[in-house]
Structure 1
Amino acid sequence: MRLILEILLMGLAVFLGAKLVPGVEVDGYTSALIAALLIALANATIGFILRILTFPINFLTLGLVSFIISVLMIMLVDRMMSGFSTSGFLAAAILAIVVAIIKAIFGAIAGSDKD
Structure 2
Amino acid sequence: MNGFLVRMLITAVSLWLAALIVPGMQLAGTLTVLGAALVLGIVNAFVRPVVILLTLPLTIVTLGLFLLVVNAMMLGLVSLLFEGFTLGGFWSAIFGALFVSFFSWLGSAFIGESGRYEVIVMRRD
Structure of greater Rg:
2
CA deviations over 1:6-25 (Å, ceiling 9, x no partner):
01110111011111111111
Unpaired segments ≥5 residues, structure 1:
none
Describe the SS at the equivalent of 1:82.
coil
- TM value normalised by structure 2: 0.81
Question: Residue 69 of structure 1 aligns to which amino acid in structure 2?
Answer: V
Count, aligned residues: 113
Structure 1 stretches of at least 4 aligned residues deviating more than 4 Å after TM superposition: none
Q: In proportion to residue count, which structure has more helix?
A: 1
Q: Does residue 1:10 correspond to 2:8, yes or no?
A: no
CA deviations over 1:37-90 (Å, ceiling 9, x no partner):
212222222221111112122122122222211101111111122211010110
In percent, how many aligned pairs have the same letter?
27
When the two chains are superposed, the root-mean-square deviation of aligned CA atoms in Å is 1.6
1:114, distance to aligned residue in structure 2 (A): 4.8
Structure with more contact order per residue of length (Cα contacts < 8 Å, sep ≥ 6): 2
Unpaired segments ≥5 residues, structure 2:
115-125
Q: Which residue of 2 aligns with 1:32?
A: 33
* Cα distance in 1 between the residues matched to 2:14 and 2:73: 18
Q: Which residue of 1 aligns with 2:64?
A: 63
